[in-house]
Amino acid sequence: MDTIHKPADKYFVMVREALIRKGTEKHKKPSRMRDFILGWQDGLVNVLGIILGMATATSSAKLVLIAGLAATFAESVSMMAVAYTSFKAEADFYKSEMEREKCEMREVPDKERKEIQTIFHGWGFSGTLLAGIVRHVTSNKKRWLDMMMDYELKLSPPKYSPLNIAVIVGISALIGSLIPLAPFMFLPVGTAFWTSIAVSSVFLFIIGVYKAITTAGKPLRSGLEMVTIGMLAAVIGYGIGAILGAAIV
């Protein structure tokens, strides 16, 4: 026996195909690598500048390590706090916009239906077909709300909790901070100075290349940009250390 397709089934297929065609317009959900790079790069660059400045001002590896470790833990806690508050603000904004849309769907449904109509009209639907699709979408409150959030406001729900993101950023900042600091744990200050620059440059270049490969952009350019940012911090730290060292002496 042939299956009888209801009109709603037809509209469901059309809506699904339209969403697939327009799927590239939706925002990408955040990845764990983005959160890792955020903390890792910030920790490495900031601590690199601090310890190179200290290494220029003093020949004591102990003082460099103390300053570096203090900066490492302060940086990690600071990045964790910043990540938590910023991503919580994003989550709170999404929730507030969702509640606003729910309220408008209850109080001014005709206006909200018109907005759905405008979305699908922009995708090439018109006439009775457009009217049927609008009825289908607005017949289900969740589907209606999802359409408004995704395609009118261009907002995606947070994939991870702010606390989860903060932990990832804090740990990655800690790991990144230890990279330029490691040479000073095993080598004399003079040797550790250049070793730290070399090791940090290699890691910055690798992470820059990886970021370009996994997101968008040119790997070589992205790697060089990462190195340039890190070395700029190193030059500033070196200059401040040299000035302070000369002034103290």
Phi, psi of 90 (to 5 degrees): -65, -45
Domain assignment present for residue 2? The answer is no
CA distance 208 to 211: 5
Higher-pLDDT residue of 99, 246:
99
Q: Which domain does 132 fall in, by range?
A: 7-20+30-242
Domain assignment present for residue 146? The answer is yes
Burial profile 101-140: b = 16 or more Cβ within 10 angstroms, e = fewer: beeebeeeeeebbeebbebbeeeebeeeebebbbebbbee
Domain assignment present for residue 247? The answer is no
Q: What is the pLDDT of residues 137-185, one digit of tens each?
A: 888 888 888 888 887 777 777 777 888 888 888 888 888 888 888 888 8
Domain assignment present for residue 1? The answer is no
Q: pTM, whole model, 2 decimals?
A: 0.65
Q: What is the pLDDT of residues 29-81, one digit of tens each?
A: 445 666 677 777 778 888 888 887 777 777 777 888 888 888 888 888 888 88
Burial profile 196-219: b = 16 or more Cβ within 10 angstroms, e = fewer: bbebbbebbbebbbbbbeeeeeee
Domain assignment present for residue 54? The answer is yes
Q: Which tokens is 55 given?
A: 């290494």
C-alpha distance from residue 72 to each of 24, 69, 77, 81, 178 (Å)? 40, 5, 9, 14, 7
At 4 the pLDDT is: 41
Domain total in the chain:
1
C-alpha distance from residue 194 to each of 180, 187, 198, 239 (Å)? 10, 11, 6, 15
Domain assignment present for residue 248? The answer is no
Domain assignment present for residue 67? The answer is yes
Q: Which residue has the tokens 């607005």?
A: 138
Domain assignment present for residue 25? The answer is no
